Every structure is written in C-alpha cells, then in structure tokens.
Amino acid sequence: MNLGQESGREGVLRSVRQDFDAHLARLQRYIRQQSISAFNEGIEEMAAMVAADIRELGGEASVVDGVDFPIVYGRIDSGAARTVLIHGMYDTVPAKAEEWTVPPFEARCIQFGDLGECLIGRGAEDTKGPLAATLSMIAAHRSAGVALPVNLILIFEASELASASLPAFVESHLTELREADVAYWPWHTQRADGTPVAWLGVKGNMMLKLRVRGGDWGGPVGNGVHGLHGIWVANPVQRLAAALAGLTTPDGRAIVVEGFYDPVRPSNGEDEELVRRLAERVDPAALLGEAHAHRFKQDTLLDALRAYCLTTEINVSGIRGGTVIEGGHKVELPGSAVASLDIRPLDGMTVEHITACLRRHFDKNGFPEVGIEVLSGYAGGAMPVSNWAVQALLDSYKECKLDPEIWPRTSTAIANHLFIETIGIPWIATTLGHSGNKHAPDEYLQVDGYRDAIDFIARLMWRIAQIAPERAPRY
C-alpha cells in the first residue's frame, strides 16, 4: 500500500468514528422497519429501503423477485482490480413484545447488564447489524471522499425460512457473479470478553416435518377419540415419539441412521488440529452461557467441540399432538402427531440423500406410518485455513491486534456452497462486534462493537485489494 492509499484508508477509518451517530441511526432505521419473513410482514418495504440506500451510496440496485421473497441485488463499480461479493440478509424472525425489556422494534440504546451500552432490537444480531455495518462501511468511504478499494457485488436476501430464492438467483446471474474474487458474510462473532471468533465454514440447513396420522396401519382416523381405546388402538403421538427417539443413541450424542454420513469426506488433520487448539483456549462456561445451559451432552469439552464442528445434528424444534392442560387433564387418544425438525448437514450431504436415509430408517425399524415433509434445505461448506482469502481475514484481525479463535466450522447455517461450488470462489465470514439473543427476547448488539465492525469490514476490503493476482487463485 503506497502513501496515498494509506492516507485514504486512514481517512475512511476516521470517518467511521466521526460519523458514527449516522451509522448507528442507519441500523436503528433498519430495525424499526419490521421485516418478518414468517408472516411476510414488511418484506417489500425493507427490500426497497435497502435498495434505495445502495443507490444513495452511489451504487446500482434492484429488487429481484424470488421463489419466496425478493433479493436485493446491488453493484458498486469503483474501477478496482478486485471484486468482493457481500452476502447478507434483511429479514428477521418474529418477536413477542411482552417478553422484551424494551419494545423489540424501537431499537433503543440502553445500559444492558454488565455488557455496557447496547442496542436492543429484533435483528440487531441476526442480521440487520451486519447489513447496516456493510452499508455504513460504504458510507464512510463516501464521507471521506475516498473510492472503495474493491468493486462490490451486494446480495441481501430474506433467508430466515431457508434461502429458497437464492439458488435460482445465483444460477440466473452466474456470469456476472463470477466477476467476484471472493464472497464475504459479515457476522458479529466477538465474545462478551472481547475475544474474536473466525469461521472457516458453516453447516447447511434442512427443515422438515415428521407426521403420523391414524389410518390403515392403526390409530384413530380423523379426530382423536377417548383414551380408553388406547388399549387396542395405536397412539400416533407415542409412535412419533418412538420414531424420533430411534434416530439417535439414547444419550442423543450420535445419529444412528444407516448411511447418513456416507457422502461426507472424513475430517482432515487440519480440522482436528484446529479443534484441539480450540479446546485449549475456549472457556466452556462462556459457550454454555451462550446456550443458556449447565452442561454439554458430551463428557469433555474436546468431544463437544468435535461434535459441533465435525458432525451434524437432528434437532427437534417442537412436537404437537393431543391435548396438554396445565393443572388439568383431558383423556384422549390423538388422531395425529407432528414434529418439526431441523438438520444441519455437513458438506456433501444433500436434502435428497438425507430424506432417502430417513425413509429407509423408518421403514426398516417398523415405522412406515411416519410421513416425511421436506420444507426446505441447502448445503454448507468450508475453506482451508491456507486459502488466500482466509489469510486476508486472519491478517485483518492481526492488524487490529487481535488473536481470533479459528473454528473449522460453525453450526450457523448459510447456503455458502452456492459461492464455493456453484460460483467457484472462496468464502470468508465474520467481523467484530459482540451480539446475542438472536431468535430470543432482548436481542442485542454492543454499540462500541458495531463501530468496530464497520472499521473491521473497511480494513478487510483494503487488505483484499492489496493481494496480488498470483497470490489469489480462484477456489
């Protein structure tokens, strides 16, 4: 970086600090515009707002219709040698106002426990914080009168219900998306004690329902009947519970579905070493605190980390069937039962493969009545630590005098296989900033951490811009 470039970059970083009130106001404006994909509430308004902001920042932007929700597609061409594709989200999950300390869509900044000043609001972490930080990084360049050091391709989707629109969008825009050198997913991963966290990969996500209805196999047909018939008529709730229990070992530590892991490449020595290093430095109490739990399923921290990074899980999000009355009782033999599941597959595990394995497992073990209803799904992916883009990310942390935990994979689900495999470019993720309580009451983002996130993204863009072409092959 020459003196002129260094001076320009420092001007941008000063702008991040000097104009921070405006950057914070951007995030508050985004949170106040509700965009709840589960209810299809405010989605079009939020997409239009983001597109308008990109145009105001000097870029081109359009709102592209999708399979379920629209995608905001933006481009900023600064005439740079490198192009970064930034992928994010503009939607959130619902919020029950009565469960929050402050109203979830007012975006108030308050002193929040021992975390200091935090912005409280739905989307602060997931993912309007990263979205606003990205656009505020661009705004800091404009305010400083400095051109972006890279060209930007911006893709913001509504993906809380599983990125259904993204695959078709990528396929239809493949030629222009292949102009990118790297894809970047900004996400606040810093811990409450300031420790930064860098991800090399993510898992996929598959959402499905398992349903049992009374029929020829047994059980009452249609509505439930009196519980006295349970002696000679099968109970759909009990059958579903037994089928669910048979998916894992009794302690829930291992999936026992035959062939489930067949497409997965064995973990390599590099990943195993990264997990070992994590076990030496992470605080198990901090991890359990984030999960609001007292202990891991596994016996040791190393085993828990191996499971988290290198295996998948079948999570039962909810079960419904029959009637439960607190303080009372209804004698009933239910006519049906349903469970909502989410599975976080590893690289190579497709929705079709998982569905076929589950079907064979249920049929082989005497549960042919269990119906499988796939809602959505996609694969994840991971990068080797030696990749040039990963090294640029890690060097950006070093520039901030920080030593991040390096996780070979996180259970956060992102459809990054579309960037790694379909587009064919490296994928990197994470930024500074501590946040928490996503999908829960009192979702928060530390105010100082939000400023640090904008600063970090700017530094990363400048670092990527300086990498010579021969040092940055396509993935």
Distance separating alpha carbons of residues 365 and 239, to the nearest angstrom: 12
Q: Which pLDDT belongs to residue 2? A: 82
Task: State how far the alpha carbon of 69 is from the alpha carbons of 33, 102, 174, 351, 377, in Å.
Answer: 16, 29, 19, 21, 16
- For 403, other C-beta atoms within 10 Å of its C-beta total 12
Mean pLDDT, rounded, for 371-383 = 93
Q: Which pLDDT belongs to residue 386? A: 93
Q: Which pLDDT belongs to residue 470? A: 62
Chain segment 42-88, per-residue pLDDT in tens: 999 999 999 999 999 999 999 999 999 999 999 999 999 999 999 99
Looking at the chain, the number of H-run helices and the number of E-run strands are 14, 19
Chain segment 278-322, per-residue pLDDT in tens: 999 999 998 998 888 999 999 999 999 999 999 999 999 999 999
User: pLDDT: is 164 or 363 the higher one?
Assistant: 363
Residue 474's pLDDT band, with cuts at 50, 70 and 90, is: low
Mean pLDDT, rounded, for 326-353 = 95
Q: Which pLDDT belongs to residue 405? A: 97
The pLDDT of residue 175 is above 90: yes
Percent of the chain with pLDDT over 90: 91
Residue 469's pLDDT band, with cuts at 50, 70 and 90, is: low
Q: Residue 378 in contact with residue 346, Cβ under 8 Å?
A: no
The pLDDT of residue 475 is above 60: no
The pLDDT of residue 159 is above 90: no
* Residue-by-residue DSSP string for 304-331: HHHHHHHS--EEEEEEE-S---TT----
Chain segment 206-218, per-residue pLDDT in tens: 999 999 999 999 9
Chain segment 250-270, per-residue pLDDT in tens: 999 999 999 999 999 888 889
Q: Residue 86 in contact with residue 184, Cβ under 8 Å?
A: yes
Sorted by sequence, the CB contacts under 8 Å of residue 140 that are 6+ apart come out as: 12, 13, 15, 16, 19, 23, 454, 458
Distance of CA 271 to the CA centre of its chain: 21
Q: Which pLDDT belongs to residue 160? A: 74
Angle at 144 between CA 140 and CA 147, to 5 degrees: 85
Residue 376's pLDDT band, with cuts at 50, 70 and 90, is: confident
User: pLDDT: is 161 or 276 the higher one?
Assistant: 276
